[in-house]
Amino acid sequence: MRTISNYVLVLLAAALASTANATGASAATANAAASSGAHDFDFEFGNWHVHHRVKRNGEWIEFDGTSSDRPLNDGSSNVEENTFHRPSGDSQGIALRAYDAKTASWAIWWVDSRDPHAALDPPVKGRFVDGVGTFYSDGVVNGKPTRTRYLWSRITPTSARWEQAFSEDGGKTWDTNWVMEFRRS
């Protein structure tokens, strides 16, 4: 039902934009776009300090980094550039996100500077509901079929939290293995 409602809102906004005066159309379009989900990641635009906690071999490793996010395609896509100050040395990563109005969902792809020509993992796909973004994909991790979940939560104008978790039992149980705490620069 949500997908149909959001799609109808986008169509309604487009119709209003073509028939209303410039001021009224701009307000209607902005309201419809905001309710459609196409701008759910606008909170992340700008520069951030990031504290990372990554679980490797059952132990948590902590390090800091930076993140910068900017909009593409009128804000319905964006690119996030990350620098990780890992104990083993610095590395970079890029998240590319794109919104699909037909499904009212986002897809997120990841490129890691440590292996930039590796095949892209299947994108995680999902949406925000009540201020929490939940995104899933199915793939193979360390030779095992694995479901991946990203969660975006605790979003304020100056902070946000991202978590990654894996499930080897189809989503019955989850093992959180990466947490990023964002603080606006």
Residue among 108, 172, 113, 164 nearest 141 (CA): 164
Provide the 3-class DSSP secondary structure of residue 26.
Answer: helix
Q: Are the C-beta atoms of residues 63 and 41 closer than 8 Å to each other?
A: no
Q: Which two tokens stand for residue 115?
A: 């292996």
Q: Are the C-beta atoms of residues 77 and 98 closer than 8 Å to each other?
A: yes
Domain coverage including residue 9: 2-36
Q: Are residues 90 and 20 in the same domain?
A: no
Q: Are residues 95 and 8 in the same domain?
A: no
Q: Are residues 32 and 49 in the same domain?
A: no
Q: Are residues 79 and 11 in the same domain?
A: no
d(CA 84, CA 87): 9
Q: Are residues 67 and 21 in the same domain?
A: no
Residue among 79, 73, 128, 38 nearest 29 (CA): 38
Q: Are residues 30 and 86 in the same domain?
A: no
CA distance to 11, 130, 169, 182, per residue, from 146 (Å): 37, 27, 8, 26
- In degrees and rounded to multiples of 5, residue 67 shows phi and psi of -145, 145
The total number of structural domains that make up the chain: 2
Q: For tokens 């973004």, name the residue.
A: 133
Q: Are residues 102 and 163 in the same domain?
A: yes
Q: How far is CA 2 from the centre of its chain?
A: 19
Q: Are residues 31 and 46 in the same domain?
A: no
Q: How far is CA 116 from the centre of its chain?
A: 20
Q: Are residues 100 and 177 in the same domain?
A: yes
Q: What is the per-residue pLDDT for 36? A: 77
Torsion angle of C-alpha atoms 141, 174, 136, 54, degrees rounded to 10: -60
Q: What is the per-residue pLDDT for 118? A: 86
Q: Are residues 14 and 101 in the same domain?
A: no
d(CA 176, CA 55): 8
Q: What is the per-residue pLDDT for 18? A: 37
Q: What is the per-residue pLDDT for 151? A: 98
Q: What is the per-residue pLDDT for 20? A: 36
Ranges of the chain whose pLDDT falls below 50: 1-34
| CATH number of 113's domain | 2.40.128.20
